[in-house]
Amino acid sequence: MQRLLLWDDVMFSVLHSTFGIFPVWDIIIIFFAEYAQYVIGAYFFYLVVMTGRNRKDQWLLLTSTFVSLILARLVVVEAIRIFWNRPRPFTVFQFIPPFPEWTASFPSGHATFFFALAMMVWLHHRPHARVFLYSAVCISLARVIAGVHFPSDVIAGVIIAVTVAYFSFHFIDPMLRRRIAVEVNAEGLL
């Protein structure tokens, strides 16, 4: 465990040392760490509405992704944070971050949320998944570089996201498919 914590501190120091040197780089990092999430959210809703898929597939993508995100971010991450309240890197190393975060650091809620989103898009609508995966990587790395997460926070978030998305796709999606098919056919929306 000590080696893992040492690796975490070293990797954090290497990544965070790139922040505060070049103003343009800092702007890019802050954009990805704080604001890219809104662009990705808007792109997801564009994908759901405008991809020309039938209404049943649109509802399935929307509801299964919503269920996966809630399970990953609001259930699993928050349950872990109840038992392990890891301080953020800026409190451990005592520096002022570009934007403060006051919840526990482990696991990364942003990494969990955006990797779960990327996985669900990959499982349901692969042509657009690359954009979501790249954005999840950029958002997660930017949050480490900005000093609000350790690398292991992000790795744990990715593991949670992939596990929950897999579970959701293979166990919850079949139930949702049946329910949506019944509802859409009953309302005559298909």
Q: Which pLDDT does position 68 carry in this prediction? A: 93
Quick check: 36 pLDDT over 70?
yes
Quick check: 183 pLDDT over 70?
no
Quick check: 16 pLDDT over 90?
no
- pLDDT tens digits, 55-78: 777 888 888 899 999 999 999 999
Domain 53-187 CATH class label: mainly alpha
Place 38 in a pLDDT band, splitting at 50, 70 and 90. Answer: very high
Environment class of 59 (CB within 10 Å of its CB; exposed 0-12, middle 13-18, buried 19+):
buried
Q: Which pLDDT does position 151 carry in this prediction? A: 95
Place 53 in a pLDDT band, splitting at 50, 70 and 90. Answer: low
Quick check: 184 pLDDT over 60?
no
Residue found under tokens 């949320």: 113
Domain locations in the chain? 53-187
Mean pLDDT for the stretch of residues 7-21: 87
pTM of the predicted protein model: 0.87
| Helix 151-167 × helix 109-124 angle, to 10° | 40
- Average pLDDT of the chain is 87
Place 187 in a pLDDT band, splitting at 50, 70 and 90. Answer: low
Quick check: 47 pLDDT over 70?
yes
Pair of tokens at residue 146: 């900005």
Amino acid at the residue 37 = Q
Dist. CA 181–CA 188, nearest whole Å: 10
Quick check: 32 pLDDT over 70?
yes
With pLDDT > 90 as the criterion, what percentage of the chain qualifies? Answer: 51
Place 109 in a pLDDT band, splitting at 50, 70 and 90. Answer: very high
Place 148 in a pLDDT band, splitting at 50, 70 and 90. Answer: very high
